């Protein structure tokens, strides 16, 4: 591509033969995209960091070379590439911009810079120059810093991407925090703090009051997929030594994540609507932010309960779900595209599903205590007046109970 060898990740592969095919959800989009390649690069880089497995560096570098090709001179990104290797510059899900695919691009480039500065300084220099091109686009967001309004009674910051996208901002910040950890800089720290302040404005409720400390995704909407605010805040809080970030992450984990483990996963919730939250589809991209977020909270606080919760979140992949069926196949490394409804698995296996499942497992397997809970299953749950609780058990008969005191919001795991 453009004279260099790059790697791509094909967007879709469908049951039963799992042949690749291109994306066409919004017209003809292309065969591969930054959204997937960037996240796959992050998984390879993280695998190398945790295992020192040299074989992961090559794919990471070639995927990053693809991401580099998709960046424009002004630091924005296009998303999709066509079969003929040309870039889709006009499609709604691909046009040059600084939104979802740019945020994931920055995340992968920053993770790559942090790793390659020690193993390939020349390539790291290329990544650094690319990051420097994107930083002005981040600063553009902060022109509106401090501007907010109220939507249906909820405070909404207007200096985030898409004017309140706390979800996409969190993925951008995962990259900026990686960059800061490699090159501490007071200006970058200030940028991180200002964007994170907007994310914390999007938190609602408390462990005892609905909606129990969740971080809204956009205005009054919450969705479980791609909502890594706790992952970002806990990691950033540890690196920047910011207790407020960690406290915000704990508020969501102890209040909302605990309820998801006890009562079951959700898909979306409009807090301004009288309609109840929707449950389906449930996908691996919903599991990763929760599971990895809980791991980052353990790393920030040292509280082992968060490792147990992370393992239970990841157990969704192995059958601790509404269908009691595995969504991840260890024999192939394939993750199915999710649970369509109360009776149906989506047996297709797109790039996102597999990438997000592998990312979840790479992080969980680092900690044997968390890994132990991957094979636990929820046996029963109760809502009996003051307490909300669930009992989990593995095949050896070992048990764990999560209990939420609804009156005072306290969480007990034993």
Asked which of 135, 157, 186 is the last residue of a domain, the reply is 135
Per-position b or e across 121-136, b if 16+ CB within 10 A of its CB: eebbebbbebbebbbe
Residue 128 lies in a domain: yes
Residue 54, judged by CB atoms within 10 A of its CB (0-12, 13-18, 19+), counts as exposed
Instruction: For helices 57-69 and 34-51, give the axis angle rounded to 10 degrees.
Output: 150
Query: What pLDDT score was predicted for residue 26?
Result: 66
- The count of domains in the chain is 2
SS3 for the chain is CCCCCCCCCECEEECCCCEEECECECECCECEEHHHHHHHHHHHHHHHHHHCCHHHHHHHHHHHHHHHHCECCCCCECCEECCCCCECCCCCCCCCECCHHHHHHHHHHHHHHHHHHHHCHHHHHHHHHHHHHHHHHHHHHHHHCCCEEEECCEEEECCCHHHCCHHHHHHHHHHHHHHHHHCCCHHHHHHHHHHHHHHHHCEEEECCEEEEEEECCECCEEECCCCCHHHHHHHHHHHHCCHHHHHHHHHHHHHHHHHHHHHCCCCEEECCCCCCCECCCECHHHHHHHHHHHHHHHHHHCCCHHHHHHHHHHHHHHCCCCCCCCCEECCCCEECCEECCCCCEECCCCHHHHHHHHHHHHHHCCCHHHHHHHHCEEEEEEEECCEEEEEEECCCCCEEEEEEECCCCCEEEC
Residue 186 lies in a domain: no
Residue 367 lies in a domain: no
Asked which of 135, 161, 184 is the last residue of a domain, the reply is 135
Q: Mean pLDDT per segment of 10 residues, for the chain of length 414 residues?
A: 93 94 81 98 98 97 98 98 95 97 98 97 98 98 97 98 97 98 96 98 96 98 98 98 98 98 98 97 98 98 98 98 97 96 97 98 98 98 93 98 95 96
Torsion 321-313-261-339 (CA) sign: negative
Residue 64 lies in a domain: yes
Asked which of 135, 154, 179 is the last residue of a domain, the reply is 135
List the domain range (segments joined by +) for residue 43.
Answer: 1-135
Residue 238 lies in a domain: no
Residue-wise pLDDT for 18-62, tens only, equals: 999 888 776 789 999 999 999 999 999 999 999 999 999 999 999
Residue 150 lies in a domain: no
Residue 32 lies in a domain: yes
Residue 13 lies in a domain: yes
- Please report, for residues 66, 78, 137, the alpha-carbon distance to residue 87 in angstroms, rounded to integers and kept in the order given: 11, 7, 21
In angstroms, the CA 208 to CA 60 distance is 43
Contact 95, 78 (CB under 8 A): yes
Query: What pLDDT score was predicted for residue 23?
Result: 81
Give CA torsion, residues 383, 384, 389, 392, to 10 deg.
Answer: -90
């Amino acid at each position: 591509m453009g004279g260099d060898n790059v790697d791509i990740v094909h967007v879709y592969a469908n049951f039963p033969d799992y042949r690749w095919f291109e994306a066409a959800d919004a017209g003809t989009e292309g065969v591969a995209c930054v959204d997937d390649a960037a996240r796959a690069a992050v998984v390879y880089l993280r695998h190398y960091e945790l295992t020192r497995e040299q074989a992961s560096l090559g794919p990471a570098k070639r995927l990053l070379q693809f991401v580099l090709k998709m960046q424009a001179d002004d630091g924005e990104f296009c998303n999709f590439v066509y079969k003929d290797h040309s870039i889709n510059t006009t499609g709604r899900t691909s046009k040059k911009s600084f939104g979802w695919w740019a945020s994931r691009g920055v995340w992968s480039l920053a993770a790559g810079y942090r790793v390659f500065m020690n193993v390939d300084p020349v390539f790291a220099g290329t990544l650094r120059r690319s990051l420097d091109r994107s930083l002005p686009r981040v600063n553009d967001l902060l022109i509106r810093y401090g501007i907010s309004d109220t939507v249906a009674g909820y405070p909404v910051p207007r200096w985030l991407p898409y004017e309140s996208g706390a979800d996409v901002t969190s993925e951008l910040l995962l990259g900026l925090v990686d960059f800061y950890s490699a090159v501490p800089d007071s200006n970058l720290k200030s940028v991180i703090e200002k964007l994170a302040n907007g994310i914390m404005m999007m938190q609602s409720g408390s462990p005892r009051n609905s909606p129990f400390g969740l971080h809204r995704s956009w205005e009054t909407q919450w969705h479980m997929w791609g909502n890594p605010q706790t992952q970002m805040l806990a990691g950033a809080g540890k690196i920047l030594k910011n207790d407020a970030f960690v406290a915000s992450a704990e508020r969501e984990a102890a209040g909302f994540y605990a309820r998801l483990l006890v009562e079951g996963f959700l898909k979306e919730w409009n807090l301004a609507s009288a309609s109840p939250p929707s449950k389906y589809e449930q996908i691996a991209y919903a599991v990763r932010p929760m599971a990895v977020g809980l791991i980052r909270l353990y790393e920030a606080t040292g509280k082992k309960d968060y490792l147990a919760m992370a393992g239970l979140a990841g157990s969704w992949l192995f059958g601790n779900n509404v269908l009691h069926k595995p969504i991840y196949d260890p024999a192939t490394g394939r993750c199915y595209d999710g649970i369509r409804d109360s009776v149906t698995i989506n047996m297709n296996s797109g790039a996102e599903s597999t990438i997000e499942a592998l990312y979840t497992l790479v992080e969980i397997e680092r900690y044997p205590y968390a890994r132990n809970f991957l094979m636990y299953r929820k046996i029963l749950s109760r809502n009996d007046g003051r307490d909300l609780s669930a009992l989990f058990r593995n095949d050896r008969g070992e048990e764990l109970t999560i209990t939420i005191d609804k009156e005072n919001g306290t969480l007990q795991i034993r």
